[in-house]
Copies of this chain bind each other. A is one copy, B any other.
């Protein structure tokens, strides 16, 4: 009986201990993990939103002084319009629970942030409000790429209509194809953080805009860029690229979406290191390539800046799937591509003032392909996605800009262009008196 008593006592002690344990574990590891995942996604969203400042500084610095206010205005309106329309419509198309028609073409979950998307809190689950915030930051990134390409000649109302279209409909639809679980996703297309889904969409929309609207007056009268169209502050542009680089640590590592556990941490940190290496390699490659190609052999800061961005765009699709050394190779190739892409546009007399297409369009597609070449993803699927999504963005935006042009709503008058949009559209000037 003594044994029985000991056993009973042991049992009771253990029951009590278990009960205490249970009470103390109302904060369970799962809930802390859930909290950490969501908080890190929030911080990542903040970093991605910070890229808006980077794009604004880059584009303003690379535009002539008399269009600086206009560029800044466009950068703010595309963000404000984008936030509201992606809230009301875009998010629901891109991540809605219903697949309209069942063809994997678009979703729908009602207006606003669908709270039915909520799942019980637990490790790896994301709160709908922060999920929306992270996604709207991506939509705003795609949207803001165009403004730099069309500097100095697009009417403000055309730009606002464009912003509405891309954030409410164009980006969400092709976004659904991949990240909403649509047909490209089902075919095995891999685009980890959006070389194609985000950057190529913005870059090819920019190309469409630049083609339809035509070059600025005087842009291709000279062999070199017309001096009065040159950017007014490479220092501001440089700060913009530093900010973009920083923001990319939200864009790429944040796209891991879950941040607890060995596998998630290993992935997140590989992604962060690869992003860094590719950006650095892109900058070096573009600097050397452009210097070799220039007859003066001078080193262009503009090209270095675009090379860094090219490397970052290029690694975005495959940052989770390649080794450090492969990331460097992907970045180097992106840095070479961006230089030749810029030359190509110049040859074709397409006026893309900030190099939006070479950086985001061309290197976005490169990123999609590189994921197949280096990242052990199916090269056919990668090629398909890397062609179809840019084609979608280019076609629909080409059509949209063409319609605006037919309605006389696309381009400002010659007089207005020569005066500069700051005075014309805003009555405010950069540089004070």
Binding site for B on A (CB under 8 A): 1, 3-8, 10-15, 17-18, 21, 24-25, 27-36, 38-40, 42-43, 45-47, 49-50, 52-53, 56-57, 60, 64-65, 68-69, 72-73, 75-77, 79-84, 87, 112-113, 121, 123, 127-130, 132-133, 136, 156, 227-228, 230-236, 238-239, 241-243, 245-246, 249, 253, 259-262, 264-266, 268-270, 272-273, 276-277, 279-281, 283-284, 287, 294, 296, 298-302, 304-305, 308, 324-325, 328, 425-433
Contacts and interface: CB of A to CB of B under 8 A. Distances in A.
A130 B8 contact: no
Given A130-B272, A228-B433, A280 B80 contact: yes
Contacts of A246: 46, 49-50, 53
**Dominant secondary structure at the A interface:** helix
Contacts of A28: 24, 29
A325 to B, nearest CB: 7
B233 A136 contact: no
A63 to B, nearest CB: 9
Given A42-B272, A72-B238, 14 more contacts: A3-B8, A4-B4, A14-B14, A31-B33, A31-B261, A35-B36, A42-B253, A46-B47, A46-B246, A79-B283, A112-B324, A298-B427, A301-B428, A302-B428
Given A31-B260, A265-B127, A39 B42 contact: no
A35 B260 contact: yes
A1 B78 CA distance: 78
Nearest to A19: B17
Given A56-B238, A431-B232, A113 B45 contact: no
A31 B262 contact: yes
Contact of A57 (B50, B127, B239, B241): B239
A325 B42 contact: no
A35 B300 contact: no
B233 A76 contact: no
A127 B79 CA distance: 36
Given A36-B36, A304-B73, A427-B300, A235 B236 contact: yes
B121 A265 contact: yes
B27 A27 contact: no
A131 B267 CA distance: 14
10 contacts: A17-B18, A42-B269, A49-B245, A50-B246, A56-B242, A72-B238, A72-B301, A129-B266, A230-B432, A302-B428
Contacts of A127: 265-266, 269
A75 to B, nearest CB: 7
Contacts of A81: 280, 284
A42 B268 contact: yes
A227 B428 CA distance: 10
A277 B47 contact: no
B432 A283 contact: no
B280 A430 contact: no
B79 A235 contact: no
A8 to B, nearest CB: 5
B428 A234 contact: yes
A99 B45 CA distance: 40
Contact of A433 (B230, B249, B298): B230
Contacts of A4: 3-4, 7
A56 B262 contact: no
A151 B367 CA distance: 37
A64 B431 CA distance: 9
A158 B13 CA distance: 69
Contact of A265 (B35, B228, B261, B269): B35
